[in-house]
Each structure stands twice: as structure tokens, then as C-alpha cells.
Structure 1
Amino acid sequence: MKARIQWAGEALFVAESGSGHAVVLDGPPEHGGRNLGARPMEMVLMGLGGCSNFDVVNILKKARQPIESCEAFLEAERAEEEPKVFTRIHLHFVVKGRGLKEAQVKRAVDLSAEKYCSASIMLGRAGVEITHDYEIVELG
């Protein structure tokens, strides 16, 4: 896996993934940014959310669950001192469908956290406290 990060002036950067997709990163105004893109640590958090949500959806699809929507809401706390690493992250999944089995949703969230989500496992091994929960919304 590769990436290229190009400085675009002030606190603005363009990050390009090895697969050719680009994302704009920018720092906060107090550090010379213009709020034109996500902060790098926000990207780490979004990457974790994307990795986990990808797993949950795939596991539920493989279990032939009637999933129609899955959202992951993340909240993180960071250390007060530099480096301001994440200390705690909570993921809340909202899974929507018709006739979803709670045991299957719980299993999908647990498997993502414990076995499949490399971002979650990597951050957890680095000392970040990561918690998960879920809710199921039955669609009519």
C-alpha cells in the first residue's frame, strides 16, 4: 500500500492513495489552515469508521441478513499533551433492515472489532481504548 502527500501551501495538503484517489487535508486556522479539508487525525478516525463499517456490512451480507443501511458514528478523545494521540474511541452502529437478527448484528460488530478491522486492532494495540455498541432499526 502506498500514498503520496503533496504540500499545497500554508497548512493545505493533497493526499493521493495508491489506488489513485485524492483527499484534501487542511489544518485549523490557528495553525495557518483555511478549513478547506479534513484534519489528518479526523482522517484516521474516519478510516477506522470506514474499516469497521465495511466489515459489519460484509459480515451481515454473508450471513444473508436483510440489511438496508448501516451507519457508524464515532466519538474520540485525545490526550491533552503532545503528541495528542487518541486515548478513547467509541463506535456506535445504527443498522437498519427488515427482520435483522440481533445475534447476527452483535456477531458482526464483535468480529469486526476482534478479528477483521485492522485499523481498530492496530489502534487498540497502541493503547487506545476502543468500545462499540449498536442499535437495530426495524424498517416497515
Structure 2
Amino acid sequence: MKATTTWTQGTSSIITDNRGHEVTIDLPEGKGGEDLGATAFELCLMSYSGCVNTIFNIVAKKMRIEFTTLEVDTTGYQKDGAPTFTDVEVELRIDSNASDEKIDKCLQQTLKMCPVGVLFHQAGVNTTYKIEKLQKA
């Protein structure tokens, strides 16, 4: 696995992986950038959200949990002026007929397997989780 970042202009850069995908990063206008993309720090939080969503999907298939909606919000906090995240709240929203217990078990397994979450945990970031079961319209 490899990532390469190439400066493009101002504070903007393009990050590529070794599989041909790319992401533009930049700073907000208020911090000297042109707001052409998320910041690298924001990408960390976005990666956590995406990882939980992906791994939950994989685990749910193995557990035969069907769903029509799956959304994961991550909210990061930097307490006491910390330079990085000190706390992250993960909220999973799902529309499924599966029992609350089965969905919770799936999330617990997901959290053990999510490599981005493991990195956050190893870095000492306090993470809390919440599941919201959506009602079918």
C-alpha cells in the first residue's frame, strides 16, 4: 500500500494511491487555503466513518443482516486545545428488520475489525458509539 501527495497550488495537493484513485486536499479559506477539498485531518475522520460503514456491511452480510439504509456519522472533538482528536462519537443509522441485539453484535464485531478504528484506539482516542434504528416510511 502506498500514497503519494503532489502539491498543485497554494495549500492544495492531490493524494493518489497505488490503485489509481485520488483525493484533493486543501485548507479552508479562513486558514489560507482555497477550500478545494477536505483537510488531511478531516480525511482521518472521514476514513473512520467510511471504514465502519464498509466493515459493518461485510459483517452484516456474514450475519445475514439485510438493510436498506446504512449511514455512519463520526464527530471528532479536540478537548483542551489538543492538536488532534481526543474523542470521537460514532453514530450508526440503519434501516433493518434485524433485532437490536443482532445489529449491536454486528457493530461490536465491526469495531474489533475496523483498521482505522483500531488506529484511533491505539492513539488513545476515546470513542463512543450509538445505534439509531430508522423506521421504514
Structure having the higher strand fraction is: 1
Considering only aligned residues, what root-mean-square deviation do their CA atoms show, in Å?
1.5
Mean CA deviation greater in 26-35 or 84-93: 26-35
Structure 2: runs of 5+ lacking an equivalent: none
C-alpha deviation, 1:134, in angstroms: 0.5
Unaligned ranges ≥5, structure 1? none
Deviation, structure 1 residue 103: 1.4
Kept in 2: contact 1:109–1:132 (CA 8 A): no
Maintained 8 Å contact 1:90/1:131? yes
Amino acid of the residue matched to residue 4 of structure 2? R
Aligned to 1:27: 27
Higher deviation after alignment, 38-47 or 54-63: 54-63
**Matched residue pairs, number?**
137
Where does 1:9-28 land on structure 2 (aligned, <5 Å)? Answer: 9-28=9-28
Which of 119, 123, 126 aligns to 2:120? It is: 123
* Cα distance in 1 for residues equivalent to 2:107 and 2:49: 12
Q: CA deviation at 1:139?
A: 2.4
Question: Are the structure 2 counterparts of residues 15 and 58 from structure 1 closer, same or farther at C-alpha, using a change threshold of 3 Å?
Answer: same
Q: Distance in 1 between matches of 2:70 and 2:52?
A: 11
Q: TM-score, normalised by structure 1?
A: 0.90
Does 2:74 align with 1:95? no
Counterpart contact for 2:63–2:106, Cα < 8 Å: no
